Amino acid sequence: MDEGAVALSIQEACAELCVRNSELFAGHLLLGGDLNGAFYDAVAEEVEATCEAWTRRYDIAQEFAAGDRRAHFATTPPVFDGSAVLLRSGRGRDALAWMIAGVHGAAPQVPVYVVGHKREGIDSAPRTLGTWYSDVSLVDRARRCALYRLDGPRSDAPCADSLLRRWSLPGTRHEVVADPGVFSSAELDAGSAMLIEALPKRSPERMLDIACGAGVVGLSALDRYPDCALTFCDVDAGALDATRRAVAAAGSDARVLASNVYSDVTGRFRLIAANPPFHDGVATRHDVAPRIIAGAWRHLSRSGTLLIVANRFLRYQPLLEDVFRQVDIVNDDGKFRVYAAREPRRPRSETQ
């Protein structure tokens, strides 16, 4: 079973566990965390409740909006005084802590339920959950999933803002402030460092930092190219918050957009820089980078360049050669490669 199928199977198993305990969620239910439309629909169809969702993923928010589901796209949950909160755990212990801290502050009088899979670390979750709630009880377990109920919010629990990570971006004047769910939230990752090294010496004049994470590549470009019109975009609300915070602190007028790859990007650029994600929780993602590569020709000028970094085992070269006439490896440390792809064209695969 491939990673996408595994992730879908986990969502289905978690939904089944919630459905067989549907009596707990009657009334007004807030669904949040690492959920998708299938999870939402499976629960909403079986529980006697008015449902709404909170997600930090713009693509999921778009999916919900298209299906006439009420959804909040934000890093932290909305203030909520309904009957219950149901959270899908799945992005790691630190991300779970951020999510629970947010709910603790936004819905202090509401019972909270957390469902997750063994592969995602749900069995160790009570240690994290206990920091914010005095009573963490197991409700049910099936198909390697567990459902916990949280009661007794602690008055001495840390607030979400106390979990923000702060560090100085090397070689720049910028401080990165990001929540634990953001890529590059704690330090400069090796792939981004190599991508920054590969930035051209001359200003590209118009640059897009796509799948920007905490914005480290584009922030480095802000210092290097003071006259450059810079756009950042990402699918994650936390990444956008971190980037907007740094851009505002720098006094820059750079644009920061919520976008599912190129969904909300307009205009053309002379440089697109990308360090695309290939992990999402426990799953390996192989869909983002091919979409960045395949769509780049629509957003680059004729003399434009795509700079993209990847693990060496990921076969990007054939994808790049389908869209660009010239593809060079400009940095390689044995683990990561940076490709510079130039002279974009309509993909040959679309013209055949």
Q: Tokens in use for 104?
A: 């603790």
Phi-psi domain of 251 (left: phi exceeds 0; alpha: psi -120 through 50; beta: other): left
Model pLDDT, residue 352: 57
- Segment 178-183 mean pLDDT: 95
Radius of gyration of the chain (CA): 21
Q: Which residue has the higher pLDDT, 68 or 112?
A: 112
**% of the chain with per-residue pLDDT over 90:** 86
Per-residue model confidence (pLDDT) at position 74: 97
DSSP state of 299: T
DSSP assignment of 45-58, as one string?
A: HHSSEEEEEEESBH
3-state secondary structure 80-139: CCCCEEEEECCCCHHHHHHHHHHHHHHCCCCCEEEEEEHHHCHHHHHHHHCCCEEEEEEE
Orientation angle between helical segments 216-224 and 190-197, nearest 10 degrees: 30
pLDDT digits (tens, 9 = 90+) for 15-48: 999 999 999 999 999 999 999 999 999 999 999 8
Range with the lowest mean pLDDT among 84-93, 197-206, 234-243, 279-288?
279-288
Distance CA 105, CA 78 (A): 10
Using pLDDT thresholds of 50, 70 and 90, give the confidence band for residue 283.
Answer: very low
Q: What is the DSSP letter of 297?
A: G
Residues sharing a CB contact under 8 Å with residue 45, sequence separation 6 or more, in sequence order: none
pLDDT bucket at 9, cuts 50 / 70 / 90: confident
Helix (H, G, I), strand (E, B) or coil at 317: helix
Mean pLDDT of 1-18: 77
pLDDT tens track for 196-219: 999 999 999 999 999 999 999 999
- Under the banding of pLDDT at 50, 70 and 90, the label for residue 284 is very low
Instruction: Report d(CA 182, CA 279) in Å as an integer.
Output: 12
- Structural domains for the chain: 3-160 (3.40.50.150), 164-351 (3.40.50.150)
3-state helix, strand, coil in the chain (%, to 5): 35, 30, 35
| Structure tokens given for 143 | 């198909």
Spatial CA neighbour of 153 closest among 170, 131, 132? 132
How far is 60 from 222, CA to CA, in rounded Å?
30
Question: What CA–CA distance (Å, rounded) separates 87 from 113?
Answer: 6
Whose CA is closest to 333, among 307, 308, 310? 310
Contact criterion met (CB below 8 Å) for 309 and 192: yes
